[in-house]
Amino acid sequence: MTIHAAALKRKINASIKFTKIIMQPIARFVFCGYNPREDTTRFLFFETCRIMKEEFPMAWNRWNLLDLNDWEPDDFHGFVDYALSLAPRLESLPKKPLDSLRGMTVANMFFENSTRTRNSFAAAEQMTGAASIDWSASGSSMAKGETLRDTVWTLCEMGVNGLVVRHSLTGMPYYIQKLVPHIPVFNAGDGARSHPTQGLLDIVAATRRLGDLKGATVAIIGDVKYSRVARSDVLAFGGMGARVTVSGPRTLLPANPEAFGAKYVPDPRKAVAEADIVMLLRVQLERQEAGLFPSVKEYHALYGANEELLSHAKPGAVVMHPAPINRGVEISSGLADGERSLLREQVHCGVLARMAVLDICLGGGKR
């Protein structure tokens, strides 16, 4: 099914849901159980809210983004449609900011280096009208011994309405959410556990290029064991109805890849042959020093994406990579810059996905 047909189908379903939301409370009011002593407006309002919650469980109830493991397939589909609907705003000249979050402030707290996530959250904040506070551990008063708790509380006292957090420690966004339960936290990558906005932007970029992902196969190749992107991608592509396989050196794969939610295909050439999307992961070069693979050259020959590996792929297969990339290690320059590459589209869709996340969670649609 093309993207247009799939989007049309979802629009029709949404229209049916809206009709139900409007008609059901009125029908209940007219035909059954109406107590004339009850205030009519209140009755209709609360009944409408109740049905909306049932029909649209995600969009208007989601408040923060720590992970994707509580997202339903409808959440992923609705999210992708919404993120793609924002594209003309980013792509027109001059841009047409959404401006739904004007008067709000988002603090970007990066305890770990980043180019894409950090700057695309900043771009998304501009596009939604929110003011940004850009904070990084280096150059902050943490160097003078200020604790993480005091740093978070200090920033939050500056009128912050949302906190974007990246940290090398697994679970840190959850910890920070507990420190400031009144301010939504957006996980921008924690340790090797989760990178939810990367998972979301990847399905937005893949849908934009390929259309409906239901039934598609995604082959994730490389350092799966230590990859937060792989964990979020398995959930995001799985939620869109795609099948996920993983391949790579056994030392860089989880002990039980099936429990991870993906089928293990030891030979990357076989994994690629079945795939509509070939997703490469960055090789963390310190893994070689730890002896998890013999040499960069050997890694590229066996598991690197180059013209030889892609010669096994389906004609329409595309190449993705969360980046930053190691050219000549997990991906050749020819593939990274070639026609099948979605790498630049991924960065572009990162802004759309983060605009959608901030707008939905900070209540842009309700303002």
Does residue 116 interact with ligand CP by CB under 6 A? Answer: yes
Helix (H) or strand (E) holding 110: strand 105-110
- Give, in order, the Cα–Cα distances in Å from 19 to each of 14, 232, 320: 9, 34, 39
- In the stretch 64-103, what mask flags binding to ligand CP with x, by CB under 6 A? ----------------------------------------
Parallel/antiparallel/unpaired status of strands 318-320 and 277-280: parallel
191-220 footprint of ligand CP as x/- string (CB under 6 A): -------x----------------------
Find the shortest distance in angstroms from Cβ 161 to ligand CP: 22
- Closer by beta carbon to ligand CP, 117 or else 245: 117
One of 13, 115, 154, 251 touching ligand CP (CB under 6 A): 115
The secondary structure of 214-235, three-state, reads: CCCEEEEECCCCCCHHHHHHHH
Q: Which residue in 64, 117, 177, 217 binds ligand CP (CB under 6 A)?
A: 117
- Residues shown for the chain: 367
Site string for ligand CP, 264-303 (x = CB under 6 A): ----------------------------------------
| For ligand CP, the closer CB: 193 or 243 | 193
> Cα torsion for 243, 244, 247, 253, to the nearest 10°?
-140
State the DSSP H helix or E strand holding residue 273, giving kind and residue range, or none if neither.
helix 268-273
CA distance 197 to 222: 20
Question: Which residues, 305 to 324, sit near ligand CP by CB under 6 A?
Answer: 322-324
Chain centroid to Cα 33, Å, comes to 44
Give the binding range for ligand CP (CB under 6 A) out of 41-49, 75-83, 112-120, 297-305: 112-120
CA dist 271 → 233, 275, 287 (Å): 16, 6, 23
Peptide bond preceding 249: is omega within 30 degrees of 0, i.e. cis? no
User: Taking the complex as a whole, how short is the minimal distance between the CB of residue 324 and ligand CP, in angstroms?
Assistant: 6
168 contributes a contact to ligand CP by CB under 6 A? no
User: Site residues (CB under 6 A) for ligand CP?
Assistant: 114-118, 189, 198, 322-324
